[in-house]
Structure 1
Amino acid sequence: MTDRFSSPPPPRDGVGASTVQLPEGRWDRVLDFLAEQFPGIGAEAWRSRLARGLVLDARGLPLAPDSPYRAGGHLHYYRELEQETPVPFEAQLLHRDEHLLVADKPHFLPVVPAGRHLQETLLLRLRRRLDLPELAPLHRLDRGTAGLVLFSVDERTRGRYQSLFAQRAVVKVYEALAPHLPQREFPLRYRSRLEPGDPFFLMREVGGEPNSETGIEIAERRGALDLYRLHPVTGRKHQLRVHLAALGAPILNDDFYPELRPADEADFSRPLQLLARSLEFRDPLDGRFRRFESRRQLLESSD
């Protein structure tokens, strides 16, 4: 294993291969290295993956459970999860052409694999369903947020569309159900400085120069709740959730803000009432105006 710059092999069942470097060490077998490097997975799980051809050398050839360890290169492996909670909701496909795909994501379905989510993610479902192993998201939504996600189909044009998000040339509109704020005048612009919080997956507001901005207006009154229309100028993690909570109107069924509450991943009865409603932009390839709108709806009442 001397190829220090090997490329990962193609996805398998929608799952892309991960790559790990092989440092100098005392391990006799690849199995010994993997078991020590990733103790949370365990030696028996690695032995099973090796036996099934899910661990490859730098050339993309399968390694065996007794393959000797050779420092100075890479190996590739495919992730697996023994137990993954099925998400009983499906995404709708709103648009597909040779460059772009637009999906309407349900609540509770993560966009990309992470942590305890692998096969039950929007990306892997679409790769398998449409036989598009190189499909890649151009932006992200939280697991709890429903609505529009834009994907790149063609790797050759991916960078052109990614630049739209980097340049803030994509106009995004969200909707959220949250308590009425009679003491506030709308529309308003809310700005604050957001930084990682504690635990690590939360965000918090701190003093200093603002790095996040959201335009907020009321689209509709719904009893004790309002349907808010949100226009994010920046795209910080959890920005909309933090901003509404800071104003005193936490989004309905938000288990993170203003306080972290224990949640059961198998409980699908309380979806976060946040929806990525629309996306619009000028297509960088041909200059056409593009606009996509979610077909999903938030709750109709405040019950």
Structure 2
Amino acid sequence: MASKPLGVSRVRLPAGGWSTVLAYLCQHFSNIAPEVWRTRFLQQKILNELYQPIALDAPFVPGATVYYFRELSAEPEVPFQEQVLFEDEHLLVVDKPHFLATAPVGNYVEQTVLRRLQRRLHIPELVAAHRLDRLTAGVLLLVKRAQDRDAYQRLFREHAVEKTYEAIAPALPQLTFPYTHLSQLQADPECFFLMREEDGVPNSQTRIEVLKQGPTYWHYVLYPVTGRKHQLRVHLASLGAPIVGDDFYPQLTTSQQDNYQRPLQLLARSLRFIDPLTGQLRFFSSARQLMNIEHIAETCY
């Protein structure tokens, strides 16, 4: 079997009544014009499980795996570089900058940590063990070999990784610290990429401590016990202290343009865990710094 090409995405064909792979892809990815899919087939950019090109009229087979190359006509360039913190035969740990997505999503394919490193280091099987939001900076763990993926991803699923974050946000003098915030987080039905708190049994938990106090803003240390989407951003916003630079919470802005001068002041400071393959205690820490709370100008944020 040929080796896995760099930069391919995968989809497993579900049960259904499509006649061809092309018909399924056109319906499943309805935001991409059928002519684009036909061109990709003709350019041999649609592959089967053996990484061989699929014919334009290839029949639909439920359960089969199809590989395809994601393409964007005009992808924004992210002018910040990830830094490698650690590498061995199993792991690659990087210090991710703000504004760089972990893996292909939305308007970003090549300008992501995963695709940059797959190409630069020639590791086509490289995958992220977890994810950081595009706007969040800090420590990101990636797995180099397919056979090791589940062992490391299971650590995050089973909450066996001690994660420490830092954030700059307005002062919360009414609370007693350390403070633990619990709530039920659910997807916002009015905006699919946002989360919101609802009544019900808590499914998210964050311990919050204060590292430094300023007259207006405080420097917080956050320990997420669970790992819900946007958990830290929603929790601080719900307490009345939205993270500095957050355009999503508590209210979504209409701006679609990244402002590189005002990054989200949220940093994944460190990861600590027992390596499931070696038994070693692993600890990785970001070298990046958030803004000085005494120097935040209201006009900049």
SS in 2 for 1:144: coil
Q: Aligned pair 1:16/2:5, yes or no?
A: no
Aligned-residue offset at 1:188: 0.9
Q: Which amino acid aligns with 1:302?
A: I
Aligned-residue offset at 1:25: 5.0
Aligned-residue offset at 1:243: 0.8
Q: Number of matched residues?
A: 292
Q: Which amino acid aligns with 1:125?
A: R
Distance between the aligned counterparts of 1:58 and 1:282, measured in 2? Answer: 34
Distance between the aligned counterparts of 2:153 and 2:60, measured in 1? Answer: 36
Q: Aligned pair 1:178/2:172, yes or no?
A: no
Instruction: Provide the residue aligned with 2:282 in structure 1.
Output: 290
Instruction: Provide the residue aligned with 1:68 in structure 2.
Output: 57
Aligned-residue offset at 1:63: 4.0
Instruction: Provide the residue aligned with 1:302 in structure 2.
Output: 296
Aligned-residue offset at 1:282: 1.5
When residues 235 and 37 of structure 1 are mapped into structure 2, their CA distance, relative to the original with a 3 A threshold, is closer
Q: Aligned pair 1:228/2:220, yes or no?
A: yes
Query: Is the CA contact 2:26–2:37 (under 8 Å) kept in the aligned structure 1?
Result: yes
- Most deviating of 169-178 and 32-41: 32-41
Question: Please, which runs of 5 or more residues in structure 2 have no aligned partner?
Answer: none
Identity of aligned residues (%): 47
Q: Equivalences for 1:36-115 in 2 at 5 Å?
A: 38-57=29-48, 60-63=51-54, 67-72=56-61, 74=64, 75-115=66-106
Query: Is the CA contact 1:126–1:132 (under 8 Å) kept in the aligned structure 2?
Result: yes
1:276 maps to which of 268, 271, 282: 268
User: Which protein has the larger Cα radius of gyration, Structure 1 or Structure 2?
Assistant: 1
Q: Aligned pair 1:148/2:121, yes or no?
A: no
Instruction: Provide the residue aligned with 2:182 in structure 1.
Output: 191
Write the deviation string for residues 243-271 of structure 1: whole angstroms up to 9, x where unpaired. 11111110001111111112324432221
Write the deviation string for residues 154-196 of structure 1: whole angstroms up to 9, x where unpaired. 2223222222222212111000000112222221111111111
Aligned-residue offset at 1:11: 4.3
Write the deviation string for residues 100-139 of structure 1: whole angstroms up to 9, x where unpaired. 1111101111111122221111111111111111111111
Distance between the aligned counterparts of 1:26 and 1:99, measured in 2? Answer: 41
Query: Is the CA contact 1:19–1:77 (under 8 Å) kept in the aligned structure 2?
Result: no
1:118 maps to which of 109, 124, 127: 109
Aligned-residue offset at 1:85: 0.9
Distance between the aligned counterparts of 2:46 and 2:275, measured in 1? Answer: 40
When residues 43 and 254 of structure 1 are mapped into structure 2, their CA distance, relative to the original with a 3 A threshold, is same
* TM-score (norm. length: structure 2): 0.88
Aligned-residue offset at 1:40: 2.3
- Most deviating of 18-27 and 266-275: 18-27
Q: Which amino acid aligns with 1:244?
A: L
